[in-house]
Amino acid sequence: MADTTLMDKLVSLCKRRGFVFQSSEIYGGLGSVWDYGPLGVALKKNLKDRWWHAMVQARDDIEGLDAAILMHPKVWEASGHVAGFTDPLVDCKHCKNRFRADDPRIKGTPGQPDAQCPVCGSRGTLTEPRLFNLMFKTFMGPVEDQAAIVYLRPETAQGIYVNYLNVLNSSRQKVPFGIAQIGKAFRNEITPGNFIFRTREFEQMEMQFFVKPGTDVEWFERWRAWRMEWCEGLGLTPAKLRFHQHGPDELAHYAKDAFDIQYEFPFGWQEIEGVHNRTDFDLGRHQQYSGKKLEYFDQAANERYLPYIVETSAGADRVTLTVMVDAYREETVEGETRVVLGFHPALAPIKAGVFPLVKKDGMPELATDVYQALKPRFPVFYDDSGAIGRRYRRMDEAGTPFCVTIDGETVANRTVTVRHRDSMKQDRVALDQLEAYLRDQLAL
Ligand code: GAP
C-alpha cells in the first residue's frame, strides 16, 4: 500500500465511521480545524484518560490542574511568546499567497528578483521575510483596542507555571513534584496539514515536574524513559518509535535539552511528544514580570531556590492520529478485504458488539438482554442488521476487539460465541461468565 494512500484511506474511514469530520463542513470547512465524531471522541477520551491515569492517578507526586485558556496578556510577554513565537513569512505580490520563508518549494531567495513563487510561478514577486506571530488574538471586554488584547494560549504549560505556588500551598507536595493538565491550545500555523497531525486548534497533555537545580538532568532522563514506555504501552509498533535529540539550532528559547519522541508516519518521522529541560527559565521570567517571589523553601535543607522544570508535552490529537495510523491494516479473508483498526483494547471506542444471529427464535430478545446487561459496564454496540459477516466487518473497522453473538445454542444452553477481532477465533462462553470473560480479555 502506498503511504499516501494509507492517509487517504484513513481520512475517508474517519469520516465514514464517525471518527473525525472537517469543521464547519457544510460551509466548505475551516482550514486545519477538525471535529471528533462519536467514535473519535471516545477514542481520544480513552487516550486522555490513560495519560491522566499514568501521570496523576497512579502517582503520588503529581497533581492535576485545569487552568483557563485565556490568561493575563503579561503571561505571554514573560513566557517569550509575544516576542519569539514567530515564523518568518513571505507574500507573493502577484497571486497574494503566503508562505513560510523556508518553504522548500520556493526557488531562490525571497525578496530578490530571482525568487519564484511556488504557486503562480512569478519571479521577483516574493516579499522579504517578515516575522508572523502564531498566537491567536482576541479582545476582552467591549472595547477592541490594544489594551484589550488577550491571546488564546499556544501551550497549556503557562497555566501550570502561574499556578505552581497555588498548587504547592494547597497540596501536601514538596519538590520534586509535578502538575499535569490536559487542555486546548491554539496556534495560527502557517503550514498546517496531514489531517489532525498539525492543526490550528488542538489539545495538549502536559506535565511540568519541579525539581531542585542540579537534579534536573537525572529527572530529565527518568521522564524521557517513562514517556517512551507510555507510548509503547499504547500498543504502537516499537520499531516506529524513536527519540530525536534537538540540536542547538532546534532548541526552543527556554530549553537546555530536549528530546522528541518521534513516530514513523506515512509522511515520515515526526514528533508526537516532547520532553524538555526548561531550567528555571519560566519561573524566573514569571517572577520578574509579576514581581511575585516564586522561590521554593526547602525546610529540610533550610534553603531557598527557584525550581528547575522538566516538561513532558504530548498532543492528544497527534497521538490519536498515531494510534489510528498504527492500528490501520487491510487483510484478505476468504477472498475479501477486511479493514481492521487493531486498537489496544483500552483505547477501543467500543469494547464489544452484540448481535443476534438472526432476527427470530427469541435471539433478538436475548441479545437485547445481554446488551442491556453489559452497557452499564463498558461501551457496547447492538447490531441486528445484515449478514453476520458484514456486522463483524463493521466492528473490525471501528476497532472493536470482541463481538458477542447470540445464536440457537444460546437459547438452548445459555452460551454465546465471542469472536476476537485480531485472530478471528471464536470462543464459546457461558452467559453468566460473559462479563467476567470480557473484563479479563480487555484487561479492565
Ligand atoms: N509546552 C511545550 C510545547 O508546547 P511543542 O513541541 O510546541 O512544545 C508539544 O508541542 C506537543 O504538542 C507536540 O509534540 C505535538 O504533539 C503537539 N502539537 C504542537 N503543535 C501542534 C499542532 N499545531 N497541532 C497538533 N498538535 C500539536
The single residue listed with the C-alpha cell 525539581 is 211
| pLDDT for residue 4 | 66
Among protein residues, the one with the nearest Cα to ligand 1's atom 2 is 313
Rounded Cα–Cα distance for residues 347 and 53 (Å)? 13
Give residue 443's pLDDT. Answer: 85
Q: Which of 75, 190, 202, 243 for mutating ligand 1's site (highest number of atoms within 8 Å of CB)?
A: 202
Query: Which atom of ligand 1 is least distant from the CA of 260?
Result: 14
Give residue 407 CA to ligand 1 midpoint distance, Å.
49
> How many A from CA of 53 to the centre of ligand 1?
21
Residue 339 C-alpha to ligand 1 middle, in angstroms? 30
Q: Which residues line ligand 1 (CB under 6 A)?
A: 155, 157, 187, 189, 198-199, 202, 204, 206, 271-274, 311, 313-315, 317-318
Q: What's the pLDDT score for residue 89?
A: 93
Q: Which protein residue's CA is at the shortest distance from atom 19 of ligand 1?
A: 315
CA-CA distance, 162 to 166, in Å (whole number)? 8
Tell me what pLDDT residue 253 has.
82
Pairing of strands 380-382, 352-356: parallel
- Which residues of the chain carry a pLDDT beneath 70? 1-4
Contacts of 235 (CB under 8 A, 6+ apart): 323, 326, 327, 342, 343, 344, 347
- Give the pLDDT of residue 3: 64
Q: What span, in angstroms and rounded, lies between the C-alpha atoms of 74 and 162? A: 11
pTM for the full predicted model: 0.95
Q: Which three cell numbers stand for residue 274?
A: 516532547
Residue 21 burial (C-beta neighbours within 10 Å; 0-12, 13-18, 19+) = middle
Long-range contacts of 213-216 (CB under 8 A, 24+ apart): 213/279, 213/280, 213/305, 213/306, 213/307, 213/308, 215/176, 215/308, 216/256, 216/277, 216/279, 216/308, 216/310
HSE-up of residue 289 (Cα within 13 Å, Cβ side): 17
Rounded to whole angstroms, the Cα distance separating 392 from 383 reads 10
Our measurement of the distance from residue 329's CA atom to the centroid of its chain's CA atoms, rounded to an integer in Å, reads 21
Looking from the CA of residue 155, the nearest atom of ligand 1 is: 4
CA of 321 to the centre of ligand 1 (A): 13
For 129, which DSSP code? P
